[in-house]
């Protein structure tokens, strides 16, 4: 049974992904592909404008045989994009999934089905931030899970 918000709608699930074996550039495209395969739209929110610029180029070229259709939020037609890259808090493309990187804050989550927090396990600041976000999400009563990168892939730990 899934958690419900006060209005009775399914609450946003918040998944924490602890990156240890690969970096964000390897993990994020795979998770975005799975999101699009579900028929969902996504927002990738960063606290760093330079990360948005990097991802804008990377998602077109991360693999020779495919790309992920996306755009930065400040480009025309942002509302039509399957994946929107932003530092802002608006859900301009009516996304189902929110991906948080670089310690970006989740803000209001009611519009999302899932929020994925990706953090680098080798970065003490990101670890501290992820722990604080975990506590805040739990305090809000949202369903939360923790995924750790293992040799054979992602494994749910909590």
CATH topology of domain 16-146: Rossmann fold (3.40.50)
Say which residue, 9 or 119, is predicted with more confidence. Answer: 119
Q: How far is CA 96 from CA 12, 25, 53, 150, in A?
A: 9, 21, 22, 27
Q: What is the pLDDT of residue 3?
A: 52
What predicted TM-score, i.e. pTM, was given to this entire model? 0.91
20 pLDDT band (50/70/90 cuts)? confident
pLDDT tens per residue across span 98-111: 999 999 999 999 99
pLDDT tens per residue across span 110-131: 999 999 999 998 999 999 999 9
Sequence-ordered strand ranges (E) for the chain? 13-19, 42-46, 71-72, 83-86, 97-101, 114-120, 144-150, 153-156
pLDDT tens per residue across span 49-76: 999 999 999 998 888 887 899 999 999 9
């Amino acid at each position: 049974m899934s958690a419900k918000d006060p209005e009775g709608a399914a609450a946003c699930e918040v998944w924490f992904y602890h990156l240890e074996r690969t970096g964000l550039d390897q993990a994020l495209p795979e998770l975005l592909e799975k999101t699009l395969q579900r028929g969902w739209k996504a927002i990738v929110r960063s606290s760093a404008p330079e990360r948005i610029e990097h991802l804008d180029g990377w998602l077109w070229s991360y693999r020779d045989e495919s790309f992920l259709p996306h755009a930065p939020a400040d480009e025309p037609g942002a509302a039509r994009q399957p994946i929107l890259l932003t530092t802002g808090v608006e859900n301009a493309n009516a996304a189902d999934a929110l991906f948080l990187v670089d310690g970006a804050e989740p803000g209001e989550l009611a519009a999302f089905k899932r929020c994925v927090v990706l953090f680098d396990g080798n970065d003490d600041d990101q670890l501290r931030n992820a722990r604080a976000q975990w506590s805040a999400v739990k305090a809000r009563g949202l369903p939360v899970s923790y995924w750790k990168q293992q040799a054979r892939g992602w494994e749910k730990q909590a």
